[in-house]
Chains A and B, each alone.
Chain A
Amino acid sequence: NAGVTQTPKFQVLKTGQSMTLQCAQDMNHEYMSWYRQDPGMGLRLIHYSVGAGITDQGEVPNGYNVSRSTTEDFPLRLLSAAPSQTSVYFCASSYRGQRTDTQYFGPGTRLTVL
């Protein structure tokens, strides 16, 4: 199993550009989520999904869109990039998102918005 994969690893955007961060998992996990990590702020939840076709907002959803058309994939879209979105983005998945399930993280995408 590849686990949780994320592409790209690094990305530089100009203000106003759009892009999609890709996330895929091959563990048949129902629960997937996106976080951003900023210095001194830990990981903050952007969006999450409890299964194909079901998504919900986390703590910091503004400026980001998600969709979940398959169990395996959970892309994160930046509609119009802003410098405030410069961050490291992590995708994670777990079996059902229930109390005892551990999240497995992808390697992260380091995004810089100029």
Chain B
Amino acid sequence: AQKITQTQPGMFVQEKEAVTLDCTYDTSDPSYGLFWYKQPSSGEMIFLIYQGSYDQQNATEGRYSLNFQKARKSANLVISASQLGDSAMYFCAMRDLTTSGTYKYIFGTGTRLKVLA
């Protein structure tokens, strides 16, 4: 069954340092997409970065990069030069094929990141 696993319930990082948030996934579909979302304390869901299963290079968006290791089925989010505003909950998600041929999204349980001044 399709599954997303985030094993770090909480993380701390010092301001201006880099941090890696772990995400592993399980799917039998060769074509899938992986996403990371940020949820600040205000509650909205903010899209950060996307990685396709056939993409040859790791995705990057500003200070966010995705360390995609297909053989290990991992899609870790790397945040460089952490800022206080990065303190939030982070969700890893996967878009996967359903038995009816459509797509649905599966989310992990999230990692709460706290950036320390």
Known pairs A45-B105, A98-B103, A99-B95 / 9 extra A-B pairs, C-beta < 8 Å:
A33-B105, A40-B9, A42-B110, A44-B107, A50-B102, A59-B106, A97-B95, A104-B47, A108-B44
Contact A107 B44 (CB under 8 A): yes
Let me know if B35 is at the binding interface, CB within 8 A: yes
1/0 per residue, CB under 8 A from B, across A37-75: the answer is 000111111001010000010110000000000000000
Let me know if B45 is at the binding interface, CB within 8 A: yes
Contact A99 B31 (CB under 8 A): yes
Interface size class for chain B? 20 to 34
Let me know if B33 is at the binding interface, CB within 8 A: yes
Q: Name the A residues within 8 Å of B43 (CB-CB).
A: 88, 107-108
Contact B98 A43 (CB under 8 A): no
Interface positions of B (Cβ within 8 A of A)? 4, 6, 9, 31-33, 35, 37, 43-45, 47, 50, 52-53, 91, 93, 95, 98, 100, 102-110
From B9, B35, B109, residue with most partner A Cβ within 10 Å: B109
Q: Name the B residues within 8 Å of A44 (CB-CB).
A: 107
1/0 per residue, CB under 8 A from B, across A84-106: the answer is 00001010100001111111110
Contact A97 B107 (CB under 8 A): no
Q: Name the B residues within 8 Å of A101 (CB-CB).
A: 33, 95
9 pairs, CB–CB < 8 Å, chain A vs chain B: A35-B107, A40-B109, A42-B91, A97-B104, A98-B95, A99-B53, A103-B47, A104-B47, A108-B43
Contact A102 B100 (CB under 8 A): no
Interface size class for chain A? 20 to 34
Q: Name the A residues within 8 Å of B35 (CB-CB).
A: 102-103
Among the listed A42, A56, A98, which residue makes an inter-chain contact with B98, where contact means beta carbons less than 8 Å apart?
A: A56
Contact A43 B91 (CB under 8 A): yes
Q: Name the B residues within 8 Å of A103 (CB-CB).
A: 35, 47, 105
Contact B107 A43 (CB under 8 A): yes
Q: Name the B residues within 8 Å of A40 (CB-CB).
A: 9, 109
Nearest CB in chain B: distance from A98 CB, A: 6
Nearest CB in chain A: distance from B115 CB, A: 21
From B33, B45, B107, residue with most partner A Cβ within 10 Å: B45
